[in-house]
Amino acid sequence: MKHTKVIEVLQSDKLLQPVLVKGWVRSFRNDRFIAVNDGSTINNIQCVLEDNTIDAAIQSRINVGAAVAIEGTLIESQGKGQRVEIQVSNVEIEGDADPEELKLTILSPKRHTLEKLREQAHLRVRTNTFGAIMRVRSKLSFAIHEYFQKNDFYYVHTPVITKSDAEGAGEAFKVTNLDLNNIPKNENGEVDYKEDFFGGETNLTVSGQLEAETYAMGLGQVYTFGPTFRAENSNTSRHLAEFWMVEPEVAFCDLDGNMDLAEDFIKYVIQFVLDNCQDDLEFLENRLVQEDKQKPQAERAEMLLRDKLKFILENNFKRVSYTEAIDILKNSKPNKKKKFKFPIDGWGADLQSEHERFLVEKHFKCPVILFDYPADIKSFYMRLNEDGKTVRAMDILFPGIGEIVGGSQREERLDVLKEKMAALNIPEEELWWYLDTRRFGTCTHSGFGLGFERLVLFVTGMGNIRDVIPYPRTPLNAEF
Ligand code: 4AD
Ligand code: MG
């Protein structure tokens, strides 16, 4: 007999018929009730053992964590909490789990902190919380592809290894095959990268944007969705050294069009998980309610998780220029009472996450798109405004998250772009291919990058970015 996924069994109306399920034991109560989970849903199937149906030797091996194959008859449940259950006729143990050894792991049936779970990231997906997060994460990535494919974007696989540092922030991880114990040097005593695998200095990509731009210049509308790497030493709950980024790029599209696209896209994927991840969202929502009970009233969430997601769908993102935002911040209570760690005293400062969160959570109380930032605090490729001091940049700020999207209208004018690069000491030789797009049929174009894990954080209501990616990479941590 072929086994049936638990999610199907739970919805099945084939009562009194034989059924086979395979999964891992979550609990075994009163020598009678085995709860089995196979990852297809947050819910377990209850399998009920009558006395003497199976061998005592097998029964003694039905331990939490064991992999089992259970055959029986699907019946209407006698108890509360489930519609159907399996009346067991046979149990096979595929993989034992020794209870004494299991006690030392996070699979032992007691509450473990999220920090503890991170130490055993290879096992945590077998907990309810991580099962739910990873199913939502998977659905979200599908929704991203679906959105762009439905809207006639082409998926472009941009390279992971590159000679360019797209953000020009110098936060790229080096890639080398040189023998580090015997580094070849040139006559100036510098490392001779000509000897290296690619014949030049290379790094892991910080963004697929520049390559995506070149493809938008032929395919019209493209997106990349892949891993990106940043060697920034920020140990925060919002930063990873390896994270996934979604980057659409659109020819003949200005900043307003870019904002419209970003807003429409985010709403689509949130609607998708609301429609397709109901059980997992309900579980995550209840988890937050329980967590909030431990907190003082003032720190508790104002909205339930799913209400927060619906709120995003039902409200327009507030579009505010950087200059307006600075005025609001300058005159805000926390600024006047010197509550900001970085006080706002004038135009030109980069916004810190405390400022972004004030704008989103306290002032506007909805997602905010900030645009027209000072040129000096943004990347070289953003289009210079007529004022000569701001660029057509936009950041989308989300409640509880801060920046979730960064994007811009690109500088399409060759002379302006070259001036900007010169001012920032970015050698033209390094980006000759990028400059070519401005030489041959340049046009207005725009794009943005959405940090995928920040989106997953928002949708699952989790508090730390390390808990929404299977194997987080952060400073001093690349285990697994
Ligand atoms: O704002 P960023 O640096 O923009 C770019 O990389 C552009 N090239 C994107 C584009 O226009 N195509 O990064 C984009 C987003 C941020 O808004 C944030 O959500 C996320 O990527 N991000 C990170 N997420 C996790 N860990 C990090 N270290 C991140 N750095 C950026
Ligand atoms: Mg940014």
- Tell me, using a 6 A CB cutoff, whether residue 402 lines ligand 1: no
The mean pLDDT of 410-420, rounded to a whole number, is 98
- Tell me, using a 6 A CB cutoff, whether residue 280 lines ligand 1: no
pLDDT at 140 over 90: yes
The per-residue pLDDT for 437 is 97
The mean pLDDT of 379-396, rounded to a whole number, is 97
The per-residue pLDDT for 49 is 96
- Tell me, using a 6 A CB cutoff, whether residue 243 lines ligand 1: yes
Query: According to the 3-state scheme, what is the secondary structure of 242-281?
Result: EEEEEEEEEECCCHHHHHHHHHHHHHHHHHHHHHHCHHHH
- Tell me, using a 6 A CB cutoff, whether residue 407 lines ligand 1: yes
Q: Which residue has the tokens 């200005």?
A: 254
CA distances from 327 to 136, 240, 324, 395, 437 (A): 39, 32, 5, 17, 38
- Tell me, using a 6 A CB cutoff, whether residue 438 lines ligand 1: no
Q: How far is the CA of 193 from the centre of ligand 1 (A)?
A: 29
- Tell me, using a 6 A CB cutoff, whether residue 406 lines ligand 1: yes
The DSSP secondary-structure symbol of 351 reads P
Ligand 1 nearest-atom number relative to CA 408: 11
Taking the CA of 405 as reference, the closest ligand is 1
CB neighbours of residue 55 within 10 Å: 11
Residue nearest to atom 31 of ligand 1 (CA): 451
The mean pLDDT of 344-367, rounded to a whole number, is 93
More confident residue, 345 or 42: 42
Strand partners, 398: 402
Ligand 1 nearest-atom number relative to CA 448: 11
Q: How far is the CA of 403 from the centre of ligand 1 (A)?
A: 8
Taking the CA of 373 as reference, the closest ligand is 2
pLDDT at 206 over 80: yes
Instruction: Give 263-273 pLDDT, tens digit per residue.
Output: 999 999 999 99
- Tell me, using a 6 A CB cutoff, whether residue 213 lines ligand 1: no
- Tell me, using a 6 A CB cutoff, whether residue 434 lines ligand 1: no
Ligand 1 nearest-atom number relative to CA 450: 15
Residue nearest to atom 27 of ligand 1 (CA): 239
pLDDT at 72 over 90: yes
Q: How far is the CA of 307 from the centre of ligand 1 (A)?
A: 27
The per-residue pLDDT for 7 is 98
Q: Which residue has the tokens 């009346």?
A: 87
Residue nearest to atom 18 of ligand 1 (CA): 451
pLDDT at 78 over 90: no
Q: How far is the CA of 144 from the centre of ligand 2 (A)?
A: 20
**By mean pLDDT, which of 18-22, 50-54, 176-180, 476-480 is the weakest?**
50-54
Instruction: Give 280-299 pLDDT, tens digit per residue.
Output: 999 999 999 999 999 999 88
How far apart CA 460 and CA 437 sit, in angstroms, is 40
Instruction: Give 94-131 pLDDT, tens digit per residue.
Output: 999 999 999 999 999 889 999 999 999 999 999 999 99
Which of 171, 215, 236, 245 has the most ligand 1 atoms within 8 A of CB, as the residue to mutate?
A: 245
Q: How far is the CA of 186 from the centre of ligand 2 (A)?
A: 37
- Tell me, using a 6 A CB cutoff, whether residue 404 lines ligand 1: yes
The per-residue pLDDT for 166 is 74
Residue 210 is which amino acid? Answer: L
Strand-strand pairing, 368-374 and 390-398: antiparallel
Residue nearest to atom 26 of ligand 1 (CA): 239
Ligand 1 nearest-atom number relative to CA 405: 17
Which band of pLDDT confidence, cut at 50, 70 and 90, is reported for residue 165?
A: confident
Which band of pLDDT confidence, cut at 50, 70 and 90, is reported for residue 81?
A: confident
The mean pLDDT of 295-311, rounded to a whole number, is 93
The per-residue pLDDT for 52 is 84
The mean pLDDT of 20-32, rounded to a whole number, is 97
pLDDT at 32 over 80: yes
Residue 447 has, within 13 A of its CA and on its CB side, a CA count of: 30
Which band of pLDDT confidence, cut at 50, 70 and 90, is reported for residue 168?
A: confident
The per-residue pLDDT for 162 is 96
More confident residue, 233 or 5: 5
Taking the CA of 171 as reference, the closest ligand is 1
Which band of pLDDT confidence, cut at 50, 70 and 90, is reported for residue 241?
A: very high
Instruction: Supply the pTM of this predicted model.
Output: 0.97
The per-residue pLDDT for 245 is 98
pLDDT at 170 over 80: no
How far apart CA 66 and CA 141 sit, in angstroms, is 30
pLDDT at 80 over 90: no
Helix (H) or strand (E) holding 202: strand 202-204
The per-residue b/e assignment along 43-53, b for 16 or more CB within 10 angstroms, e otherwise, is: bbbbbbbeeee
**Neighbouring residues of 177: CB distance < 8 A, sequence distance ≥ 6:** 196, 197
Q: For the chain, what is the mean pLDDT?
A: 96
The mean pLDDT of 214-240, rounded to a whole number, is 95
pLDDT at 234 over 90: no
The per-residue pLDDT for 361 is 92
The mean pLDDT of 372-378, rounded to a whole number, is 97
The mean pLDDT of 204-229, rounded to a whole number, is 98
Which band of pLDDT confidence, cut at 50, 70 and 90, is reported for residue 79?
A: confident
Taking the CA of 258 as reference, the closest ligand is 1
- Tell me, using a 6 A CB cutoff, whether residue 37 lines ligand 1: no
Structural domains in the chain, sorted by start: 6-104 (2.40.50.140), 128-171+206-317+366-467 (3.30.930.10)
Q: How far is the CA of 392 from the centre of ligand 1 (A)?
A: 16
**By mean pLDDT, which of 118-127, 163-172, 392-401 is the weakest?**
163-172
The per-residue pLDDT for 384 is 98
pLDDT at 34 over 80: yes
- Tell me, using a 6 A CB cutoff, whether residue 378 lines ligand 1: no
CA distances from 97 to 7, 64, 295 (A): 24, 7, 36
Closest-CA residue to 14 (of 65, 99, 73): 73
Q: How far is the CA of 207 from the centre of ligand 1 (A)?
A: 8
Taking the CA of 216 as reference, the closest ligand is 1
Taking the CA of 166 as reference, the closest ligand is 1
